[in-house]
Structure 1
């Protein structure tokens, strides 16, 4: 594993822990019983009770809505979309607790079947990009399915703690005294998440996740954004490689293509690391690299040429 991937796993693990423990320590949750947000241990209210009691007027209530709802929402959206506009779906590939589960189960399924998804048409190569064997063992199914179920249960419980006091939820869970609604929420949530983790992990990320979709739209709007660049003129160097870059992609994308076909790329960099391992003895290095700015603009679906350069070449080709 490269230092790049170790760093990414460190960030993913840290954010996953934060996702689980944030409601426990009242860092962020919405308390349905109290009827308001709790942020860093403090109630985040609009002052609706004071407004109904006549303690604040319309102007103050409007100001509360502006400062406590609209402005924070815009700041969060601007930050996430601003990062995505320049660097792509970094939240997905580096922080998202769902994507970390996707990658974990992918690896277990690959060890069990040679494929990262049951929807893959054929198994990947029988060795890793570094040349070491990558054997399959069906006994890993005994780990992949329980892992998917355990993650689904953990997610369902964690989501419930964002809505109800965590001490009550965990207390009732450990004592076996969950209320009907609590048990129903955890049961239905676990079943739905288990089905998604088992059958549609990357499909959910690609087509159903609103957070990922808006990041992709912001990224696609910036033709100079960071993207995986492929050196097409060296395609011959790929002849001896069984498309490792395709097989390692957790989103099941094909990195050696134009940006428009990499719409759901999470910038995990696994394809680049795989290519680097395969081409480790090639003096020209990897065929896949990170590019941005002018290089990204040149590689954006125009066969490596700027639109202005293409137009100039066409004008020179037309006899006067």
Structure 2
């Protein structure tokens, strides 16, 4: 299915960017050397020329030009391009490239095998595929995964600030300085706790990169958004996420969302959507499963990405309020029948 191919491409992009993130300091692709106070970019030292100005080797005009070409202009292009993508596509970087979110999804899968939930704070479990049941032994794997991910993050972050050969050489030969060891231990502990307890909260509210993408995306009502075919909502009630357990009726899109959102809601409730498309894939599979169980052919999924005017209609769509059924007006009391009065007395009238 096309939805499955989409997830395959997303996994490849995540793996490629994760590898790039880990090896970037080692090949001087991007790092800042605290010893030399020098930024390395694409294998070359990147300078603004301020040290040459202080030494009198260049003029003020040359320094201003260097600041514009090596500092302000690249920064504007990078930030402007990043926000332009977010304006149109939302948090595309988070769902398709971000190394942190890649680990969040991997740790979600391990925790689901341990307790049937994607987060320690989930109230309802997410059934495992194939009718499997959670096993306690996966708690050990979950703890090790959080510790290893936190340690890798702490060491990699230090490699962006010091020469990677010095960092790894010190760890392998036991010659790291006390300051380096303190940094690695503290950073690794903080990241391990974050991965174990608050990885979703960090992605939603703690990451400045994700937050700014969401703010820009919310400001554009024509940006890409997950649309729900509400005219076919009856098929959503018959959603069967797992072909091996057709009696289990649950929301496949909600179970698949790694950010613990409800994809059928309107855009204002999807602020933290990372555009991963897992809800679309789950909906596509569930609808094909439902159609197969009913003896029919595959049908289109209820969730689709929409852009432009279609996204505008979806973004402005409000939940239909429950119409208050007006009580019927109270029936007017039936007029009481007039009682027959006796005829007037002639003597009384004369008097």
**Residue 118 of structure 1 aligns to a residue in which SS?**
coil
- Provide the C-alpha distance between the structure 1 equivalents of 2:128 and 2:179, rounded to a whole number of angstroms: 48
Q: CA deviation at 1:127?
A: 4.7
Q: Look up the match of 2:324.
A: none
Q: Is the 8 A contact 1:38 1:44 kept in 2?
A: yes
**Residue 299 of structure 1 aligns to a residue in which SS?**
helix
- Provide the C-alpha distance between the structure 1 equivalents of 2:139 and 2:102, rounded to a whole number of angstroms: 19
Q: Does 1:297 align with 2:312?
A: yes
Q: Which has the higher contact order (CA 8 A, sep 6+)?
A: 1
Q: Is the 8 A contact 1:105 1:144 kept in 2?
A: yes
- Provide the C-alpha distance between the structure 2 equivalents of 1:81 and 1:262, rounded to a whole number of angstroms: 18
Rg (Cα) greater in structure: 2
Q: Look up the match of 1:158.
A: 156
Q: Is the 8 A contact 1:275 1:287 kept in 2?
A: yes
Q: Look up the match of 1:146.
A: 144
CA RMSD between the two structures: 1.6
Q: How does 1:40-189 map to 2 (within 5 A)?
A: 40-124=42-126, 126-128=127-129, 132-189=130-187
Q: Does 1:260 align with 2:268?
A: yes
Q: Look up the match of 1:310.
A: none
TM-score where L is the length of structure 2: 0.83
Q: Is the 8 A contact 1:298 1:304 kept in 2?
A: no
- Provide the C-alpha distance between the structure 2 equivalents of 1:294 and 1:230, rounded to a whole number of angstroms: 15
Cα offsets for 1:223-272 (capped at 9, x unmatched): 11111111112222122331121121111111001111111110101111
**Residue 2 of structure 1 aligns to a residue in which SS?**
helix
Q: Is the 8 A contact 2:116 2:128 kept in 1?
A: no
Q: Look up the match of 1:313.
A: none
- Provide the C-alpha distance between the structure 2 equivalents of 1:147 and 1:284, rounded to a whole number of angstroms: 39
**Residue 122 of structure 1 aligns to a residue in which SS?**
coil
Cα offsets for 1:10-53 (capped at 9, x unmatched): 11011011000001011111111111211122110112221111
**Residue 134 of structure 2 aligns to a residue in which SS?**
coil
Q: Does 1:10 align with 2:12?
A: yes
Q: Look up the match of 1:240.
A: 238
Question: Pick from 259, 274, 277: which aligns with 2:282?
Answer: 274
Q: Look up the match of 1:223.
A: 221
Q: Does 1:288 align with 2:303?
A: yes
Q: Look up the match of 1:317.
A: none
Q: Is the 8 A contact 2:90 2:275 kept in 1?
A: yes
Unaligned runs of 5+ in 2: 240-249, 292-296, 321-351
Unaligned runs of 5+ in 1: 306-320
Q: Identify the range of structure 1 (215-224 vs 267-276) with the bigger mean alpha-carbon deviation.
A: 215-224
Q: CA deviation at 1:286?
A: 0.9
Q: Look up the match of 2:35.
A: 33
- Provide the C-alpha distance between the structure 1 equivalents of 2:317 and 2:120, rounded to a whole number of angstroms: 34
